[in-house]
Amino acid sequence: MKKRTIFFEDLGIKEYQETWKYQKKLFKDIIQKKINRVSCQKVGYLLFVEHPNVYTIGKNGKKNKHLLVPSDFLNKINATFYQTDRGGDITFHGPGQLIGYPILNMDYFFTDVHKYIRLLEEVIIHFLKFYGLEGVRKKGKTGVWMNNDIGKKSRKICAIGIRMSRWVTMHGFALNINTDLRYFDYIIPCGIHDQEVTSLRKELEKKEIPFEIVKNKVKKSFQDVFNVEFNHL
């Protein structure tokens, strides 16, 4: 099958609200072209970004139950909070975490929401193999966990939350690389009790994981799983 070409852009470190606004611009542009049946529609984009400390919650999330600290405490830990239009519950984004926002016109791929989410999980599972790690799915849950050792809590390394309208996607995955995991202590991550959050650095017992190398490997995994090539913006 011929590979589709999508645009790739690395935004570096950028505030959540600014990135969300940019996502919505690209998302709405693709939808409008579909509505107007404009020829030569874009297949889509993949954005990489790191956010300063921020908690986000999906449209059906339970802030009062799953944010464990009062709002004024967030100022003390230099964090912000946003209610978003994605699915899923509460999570944390911060430095050392790789965020991937695919904004894709699924007419060029397939029109199946659940299959799309499973393929996002597959990108991360594929990526973890570069480091000799086994990422797994958890029945009835979204995201990627580390292989659960007997007698230990499951360890989530990647959260996924998306929005899809007229078969165009936005939002995406949050992969913990060198993330300060202490920030997860103030929430019930993704609204799931009795689980731990982990990072690539913690799993590999390293002081620091080279971030640019991680980006290249995740890009390679995304290309392989979605059968795409990148046009760099």
Q: Which residues carry out catalysis?
A: 190
CB of 74 within 8 A of CB of 35? Answer: no
Report in angstroms the alpha-carbon separations of 68 from 80, 195, 199: 14, 15, 21
Whole-angstrom distance, CA of residue 111 vs CA of residue 117? 12
How many CB atoms lie under 10 A from the CB of residue 216? 12
Whole-angstrom distance, CA of residue 9 vs CA of residue 208? 24
Whole-angstrom distance, CA of residue 147 vs CA of residue 138? 10
